[in-house]
Amino acid sequence: LSSSWGINNRDDLIQTIYQMTDDGHANDLAGLYLTWHRSSPEEWKALIAGGSERGLIYTQFVAQTAMCCGEGGIKAWDYVRMGFLSRVGVLNKWLTEEESLWLQSRVYVRAHHYYHSWMHYFSAYSLGRLYWQSSQCEDNTSLREALTLYKYDSAGSRMFEELAAGSDRFYATLPWQPLTAQPECPVTLKDVSDL
């Protein structure tokens, strides 16, 4: 976690989860996704007219994926990663199971608000990963290619092939429903109880 996330201890982990749940990579495009869903086609065209070439590439990506992602856009990318960090926190003995469950329940409330099924959530996650990966494109040509052709890097391609090939697609067998009971915030997480 240190080299890829800059997380070296419990406090780093909790602060990363706290900040990235609502202010992660998805925020870069959140306004565009929301605007696409709330604008007429004419308003959308006026909004994107006259922007930079790079900005136009991103607005085209949003326009092409907005129906798939919904108003939540690619927030699922951040939500899945925060769930991952919550579990890794338990493995590293930085979090208890109770703390991890509470953190994940806070992420789930958001996910359930924005997405209506596991497939919807997965679609937004996969497009979020593509967006995150594209941030490494140095020029507009490679950025346009990555986002227009939905071209994942080798790690992304491998991950999605394994997910699609698995006969035990757990996300498809678990019901997508609200939590019946919200766990109480552990006293040890009182500093982030507003998550």
CA distances from 21 to 14, 63, 80, 158, 191 (A): 11, 24, 9, 26, 15
State how far the Cα of 72 lies from the Cα of 55, in Å rounded to an integer.
Answer: 20
- Which distant-in-sequence residues (6+ apart) come within 8 Å of 173 by Cβ? none
Can you give the pTM of this predicted structure? 0.90
- pLDDT tens-digit profile, the chain (195 residues): 899 999 999 999 999 999 999 999 999 999 999 999 999 999 999 988 888 999 999 999 999 999 999 999 999 999 999 999 999 999 999 999 999 999 999 999 999 999 999 889 999 999 999 999 998 899 999 999 999 988 888 888 888 777 766 656 655 677 888 888 899 999 999 999 999
Determine if residue 73 is left, alpha or beta; phi over 0 gives left, psi from -120 to 50 gives alpha, anything else beta: left
CA distances from 36 to 15, 70, 76 (A): 31, 10, 18
| Tokens 């950025």 sit on residue | 143
> Rounded to 5 degrees, what are φ and ψ at 13?
-60, -50
Residue 181 DSSP class = S
